């Protein structure tokens, strides 16, 4: 864990509290994060194809000069 240690009473001065029988929910929006992951994957694929095309063009250029 990063940062400095803090002590205090639960529920006071900005401290959290624990309640028995309650379910803690994640603050991550799963659907939104999946959409972001798909966008990142597509961008990676596009960049990979661009690099591959540039490599093929350089190989062709070298063959034509050769």
Instruction: Give per-residue pLDDT as tens, 20-57.
Output: 888 888 788 999 999 999 999 999 999 999 999 999 99
- The answer to the question of residue 52 being in a domain is yes
- In the chain, the number of structural domains is 1
Instruction: State yes or no: pLDDT of 1 exceeds 80.
Output: no
- What distance in Å separates the CA atoms of residue 53 and residue 25, rounded to the nearest whole number? 46
Instruction: State yes or no: pLDDT of 14 exceeds 90.
Output: no
- The answer to the question of residue 38 being in a domain is yes
- The answer to the question of residue 21 being in a domain is no
Q: For residue 43, give Cα distances in angstroms to 15, 19, 56.
A: 41, 43, 20
pTM of the model: 0.56
Instruction: State yes or no: pLDDT of 13 exceeds 80.
Output: no
Half-sphere exposure in the Cβ direction for 43 (13 Å, CA): 6
Instruction: Show the domain range for 42.
Output: 27-66
Using the 8-state DSSP alphabet, how is residue 49 labeled?
H
Instruction: State yes or no: pLDDT of 2 exceeds 80.
Output: no
Decide: 17 and 10 in contact? Cβ < 8 Å.
yes
């Amino acid at each position: 864990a990063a940062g400095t240690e803090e002590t205090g009473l639960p529920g006071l001065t900005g401290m959290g509290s624990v309640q028995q029988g309650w379910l803690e929910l994640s603050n991550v929006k799963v659907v939104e994060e999946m959409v972001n992951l798909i966008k990142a994957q597509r961008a990676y694929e596009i960049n990979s194809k661009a690099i591959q095309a540039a490599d093929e063009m350089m190989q062709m250029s070298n063959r034509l000069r050769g």
